[in-house]
Amino acid sequence: MTDNAHLLKQHSFVELGARQRARALLDAGSFRELIDPFARMTSPWLPKQGVVPQADDGVVIAKGSIGGKPVVVCAIEGNFQGGSMGEVGGAKMAGALELAAEDNRKGIPTAAVLLLETGGVRLQEANLGLAAIAEIHAAIVDLRRYQPVIGVVAGSVGCFGGMSIAAGLCSYLVVTQEARLGLNGPQVIEQEAGIEEYDSRDRPFIWSITGGEQRYASGLVDAFVADDVAAVQQHVEHLLHKGKPEQERSSQYALFLQRLGQVDTTTQIDPAAVRSLYQGEQP
Amino acid sequence: MSSYSTRGLKWFNALAANAVEVTGLPTSVKAADGTMGDQPARFLAVVADPDNRFPRARNGEVGLLEGWGLAHAVDTAIELDRQSENKRALIAIIDVPSQAYGRREEALGIHQALAGAVDAYARARLAGHPVIGLLVGKAMSGAFLAHGYQANRLIALRDPGVMVHAMGKASAARVTLRSVEELEKLAASIPPMAYDIDSYAGLGLLWETLSVSQIEEPSAADIRAVQECLTAAVKDAQAGGNDLSSRLGAPNRSASSKVRELLRAQW
């Protein structure tokens, strides 16, 4: 197939909304949404601040199967309030993961796929967003004992704030070229540390540090895939069937502390240095 | 010159006065093994290290070394008690102004380092260690998520310097396109947006709040009162489950419970 013919056969995953993404990953006909928009479970906090709420609060929870395996998909809608996590959306994700872990304790092998397009805490619901994210973290670590929890950061919002920590807790991470993964948003770093430290308007610089390709080359994610529905679906299915990793990335403190001990912090770091440092001794 | 809080260190030194310091950790991560009554405990704190190799983490911020260092300090406690039925309590003393903001931090995956700390604390709780968070100063955003927010029980000292939030006021105002004055006005009527500890307590996330006379330089009576409260929290945690469900139930957080009810019904 020529490059052009191949491109014509691709269907962009990044351009899909949260609900379409969840549907695209699940086996045909298996998609069943929980607390769908007709339930009108909206944010109790946004209207008080003159912000129009959304019927699903920006989080879609869908049960179904992938390659025949039972899963729950939690998909964040990056187009609503920057994918920010409020009380309701956060509770939907935490609660779904809690029930998936409970399933496993009852002998039902439910796994989870998280579609992460989020700036982190929704500041209009500040402390309730933060509390929900702590509960999402707790639930991932619980569920991960039984089944893989797979995170997908496709873009274009990327995954930041407390939810980047949630990504770091996932058994496996899948990213595209459009993805960014980092704790702090570029503007906040620039504001806190200065433009010399972090130029938030220099897009090539930002992607060279936090972009999907760099994260893959540094071993901080597990798969780098094309922006193509079939490619994302196949990778997620493959990882689900692979089962739990031998050791979770977030449990490898000895390896990371040893590597950080080798960093020369008297000069600023560049992306190539991170790649060679973190690729050095893969476990 | 930037200044930093010494509350975390003072309370660590006070509570861990007779404890044995855990070695092999970054200077900014303190851990020591001691007891409270007959309960074995490991005390943990992140403190300022003005000579930190990572310059963006010199004022007590939780950065790369701190995240992975906490993971180390907590994981070794899990390993030491693997065969034991009487798991040591983990007492996280919380005075963390923020996560570290910097180029090295992002490039080297600070999100993964913080996940390392969360991972260890959550596994400790699931393994049966009572994990107690004691808020003596700021508990901000990613720093709090990494150090303390996985606790079975949270205790806060009553003081204007004790605050929990997702972002500092100036940054939060900018990101939400408001002035600081507008933000403060909203915070007064919207509890989750407030910075004070009483509004936070109203969300049901704290197990207890406690007044002390000298929060900066704890007196003998202050230390005793906090030790009693910690001991009671450990007992309560041991009697309850090892999840975070005790945080649900406050009227100001009713949607969090409602969502879980609906999910269960439709599951």
pLDDT confidence of B251, banded at 50, 70, 90? very high
Identify which of A61, A165, A271 has the shortest CB distance to residue B111: A165
Q: Which residue of A has its CA nearest to B189?
A: A48
Q: What is the pLDDT of residue A2?
A: 62
Shortest alpha-carbon distance between residue A16 and chain B (Å): 25
The region that residue B211 occupies, defined by phi over 0 for left and psi between -120 and 50 for alpha, beta otherwise, is beta
Report, as an integer, the average pLDDT of A110-130: 96
Determine contact: A233 vs chain B, CB below 8 A. no
pLDDT confidence of A171, banded at 50, 70, 90? very high
Determine contact: A48 vs chain B, CB below 8 A. yes
Higher pLDDT, A162 or A192: A162
Percent of chain B with pLDDT over 70: 99
Token digits of residue A251: 């449990």
Task: Measure the CA–CA gap between B142 and B165, rounded to whole angstroms.
Answer: 10
Tens-place pLDDT, residues B113-135: 999 999 999 999 999 999 999 99
Q: What is the pLDDT of residue A280?
A: 62
pLDDT confidence of A4, banded at 50, 70, 90? confident
CB contact under 8 A, A127 and B247: no
Cross-strand partners of B94: B135
Containing B259, the helix (H) or strand (E) segment is helix B254-266
Q: How many Cα atoms within 13 Å fall on the side-chain side of residue A220?
A: 34
Identify which of A35, A183, A250 has the shortest CB distance to residue B106: A183
Determine contact: A168 vs chain B, CB below 8 A. yes
Containing B226, the helix (H) or strand (E) segment is helix B220-239
Check if the beta carbon of residue B42 is closer than 8 Å to that of residue B20.
no
Shortest alpha-carbon distance between residue B50 and chain A (Å): 14
Inter-helix orientation angle B254-266/A87-105, to 10°? 40
Please give the model's pTM, rounded to 2 decimal places.
0.97
Q: With beta carbons under 8 A apart, name residues in chain B contacting A182.
A: 106, 110-111
Token digits of residue A216: 């893959």
Residue ranges of domains in chain B, CATH in brackets: 7-266 (3.90.226.10)
Residues 210-239 of B with CB under 8 A from A: none
CB environment A23-56: b (16+ within 10 A), e (fewer): bbbbeeeebebbbbeeeebbbbbbeebeeebbeb
Number of cross-chain residue pairs from A and B with Cβ atoms under 8 Å apart: 260
Q: What is the pLDDT of residue A282?
A: 47
Inter-helix orientation angle A253-260/B64-80, to 10°? 140
Report, as an integer, the average pLDDT of B151-170: 92
Q: With beta carbons under 8 A apart, name residues in chain A contacting B104.
A: 263, 265, 268-269
Q: Does residue A1 register a pLDDT over 70? A: no
Q: What is the pLDDT of residue B185?
A: 86
Averaged pLDDT of chain A: 95
Instruction: Out of 3.10.580.10, 3.90.226.10, 3.20.20.60, 3.40.50.300, select the CATH number for domain A10-250.
Output: 3.90.226.10
Determine contact: B158 vs chain A, CB below 8 A. no
Q: Does residue B267 register a pLDDT over 50? A: yes
Q: Is residue B79 helix, strand or coil?
A: helix
Determine contact: B127 vs chain A, CB below 8 A. no
Task: Measure the CA–CA gap between A153 and A173, rounded to whole angstroms.
Answer: 7
Q: What is the pLDDT of residue A283?
A: 43
Q: Does residue A5 register a pLDDT over 80? A: no
HEC profile of A21-40:
HHHHHCCCCCCEEECCHHHC
CB contact under 8 A, A251 and B53: no
Task: Measure the CA–CA gap between B197 and A34, rounded to whole angstroms.
Answer: 35
Residue A222 to residues A77, A115, A138, A160: CA-CA distances in angstroms? 23, 15, 22, 18
Q: Is the dihedral of CA A78, A119, A148, A128 positive or negative?
A: negative
End-to-end CA separation in angstroms for chain A? 37
CB environment B203-223: b (16+ within 10 A), e (fewer): bbbbbebbebeebeebeeebe
Q: Which residue of A has its CA nearest to B56?
A: A193
Of the residues A31, A146, A260, A276, the best mutation for testing chain B's interface (the one with the most B CB atoms within 10 Å of its CB) is A260
Determine contact: A176 vs chain B, CB below 8 A. no
Q: Is the peptide bond before A156 cis (omega within 30 degrees of 0)?
A: yes
Closest CA to A117 of A60, A78, A74: A78
Closest CA to B138 of B220, B59, B27, B58: B59
Q: What is the pLDDT of residue B186?
A: 84
CB contact under 8 A, B122 and A138: yes
Check if the beta carbon of residue B69 is closer than 8 Å to that of residue B114.
no
Tens-place pLDDT, residues B52-93: 999 999 999 999 999 999 999 999 999 999 999 999 999 999
Closest CA to A135 of A106, A166, A101: A166
Percent of chain A with pLDDT over 90: 93
Tens-place pLDDT, residues B179-217: 888 888 888 889 999 988 999 999 999 999 999 999 999
Report, as an integer, the average pLDDT of A202-219: 97
Shortest alpha-carbon distance between residue B11 and chain A (Å): 24
Residue B171 to residues A133, B175, B244: CA-CA distances in angstroms? 20, 6, 29
Task: Measure the CA–CA gap between A124 and A51, rounded to whole angstroms.
Answer: 9
Cross-strand partners of B88: none
